[in-house]
């Protein structure tokens, strides 16, 4: 079924999720919270997402657009990247950043629980450091929406803070309200399975305070696995 959100162009979406509006300081805050590892983490995210030339990609909760811009460089001129964020301030910074970089990415304000795209639009969806902002019912709605807009065989990579491995940094981040508890990884995996994703992988990386989850939409019967 075709589905689009009904909003005026540029209108901020209504959401009960937490929305970050201090866009001008977001990149600095990310660098500080990652202890200067933000660029290396982003490179790891791209490697695990494995965007391919010509693919259509959506970055959900795009923040100031850095990841989406890097993804566009990977899919190249034949590909297409879109980024959404619930904060219009973040979208404005993203658009400015893309113009300065000379990279064509379509940024727009939207919420994960009501994605303004037709069914089966994307080959790849990424979500980084935003699911912890959502109450559980919106997480389920958002994950179902991601499933809806992915093509058969399409992939989803979700990255967020984690207290799952008991690391000191993970526990500190969780205490400040930006992380998941030890059981949250299992809950997110269950939500992905409930939404109709295939086997969900928890990916091991050198970043113990982060949770990396990768899942795929089952391929159509006459289609090779994605």
Instruction: Give tens-digit pLDDT for 131-151.
Output: 988 999 999 999 999 999 999
Number of Cβ within a 10 Å radius of residue 120? 14
pLDDT at 211 over 80: yes
178 found inside a domain: yes
pLDDT class of 168 with cuts at 50, 70, 90? very low
pLDDT at 12 over 80: no
Please give the pLDDT value at position 24.
65
Mean pLDDT of the chain: 83
Please give the pLDDT value at position 2.
35
Are the C-beta atoms of residues 203 and 48 closer than 8 Å to each other?
yes
183 found inside a domain: yes
Rounded Cα distance between 42 and 28, Å, is 15
Structure tokens at 138: 């919106």
Please give the pLDDT value at position 209.
83
pLDDT at 196 over 90: yes
Rounded Cα distance between 96 and 94, Å, is 5
177 found inside a domain: yes
135 found inside a domain: yes
222 found inside a domain: no
Q: What is the pLDDT of residues 75-118, one digit of tens each?
A: 999 999 999 999 999 999 999 999 999 999 999 999 999 999 99
176 found inside a domain: yes
**Residue 4 or residue 15, greater confidence:** 15
Q: How far apart are the first and last CA of the chain?
A: 22
Residue 129's domain comprises 38-146+162-216
- Count of structural domains, the chain: 1
**Could you tell me whether strands 56-60 and 122-128 are parallel, antiparallel, or unpaired per DSSP bridges?**
parallel
Percentage of the chain beyond pLDDT 90 is 63
115 found inside a domain: yes
CATH number, domain with residue 204: 3.40.50.150
125 found inside a domain: yes
Are the C-beta atoms of residues 53 and 78 closer than 8 Å to each other?
yes
pLDDT at 53 over 70: yes
Please give the pLDDT value at position 50.
97
| pTM recorded for the entire structure | 0.82
pLDDT at 153 over 80: yes
Rounded Cα distance between 44 and 215, Å, is 17
How confident is the model over 141-170, as a mean pLDDT? 83
């Amino acid at each position: 079924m075709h589905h689009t959100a009904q909003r005026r162009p540029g209108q901020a979406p209504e959401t009960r999720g937490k929305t970050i509006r201090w866009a001008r300081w977001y990149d600095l805050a990310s660098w500080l919270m990652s202890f200067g590892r933000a660029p290396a983490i982003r490179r790891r995210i791209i490697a695990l997402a494995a965007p391919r030339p010509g693919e259509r990609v959506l970055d959900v909760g795009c923040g100031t657009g850095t990841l989406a811009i890097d993804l566009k460089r990977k899919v190249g001129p034949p590909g297409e990247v879109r980024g959404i964020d619930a904060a219009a301030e973040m979208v404005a910074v993203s658009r400015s950043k893309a113009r300065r970089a000379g990279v064509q990415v379509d940024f727009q304000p939207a919420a994960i629980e009501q994605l303004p795209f037709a069914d089966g639009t994307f080959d790849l969806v990424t979500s980084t450091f935003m699911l912890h902002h959502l109450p559980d019912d919106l997480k389920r709605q958002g994950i179902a929406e991601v499933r809806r807009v992915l093509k058969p065989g399409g992939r989803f990579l979700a990255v967020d803070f984690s207290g799952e491995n008991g690391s000191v940094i993970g526990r500190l981040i969780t205490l400040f309200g930006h992380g998941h508890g030890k059981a949250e990884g299992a809950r997110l995996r269950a939500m992905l399975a409930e939404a109709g994703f295939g086997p969900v992988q928890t990916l091991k990386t050198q970043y113990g305070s982060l949770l990396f989850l990768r899942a795929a939409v089952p391929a159509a019967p006459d289609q090779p696995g994605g």
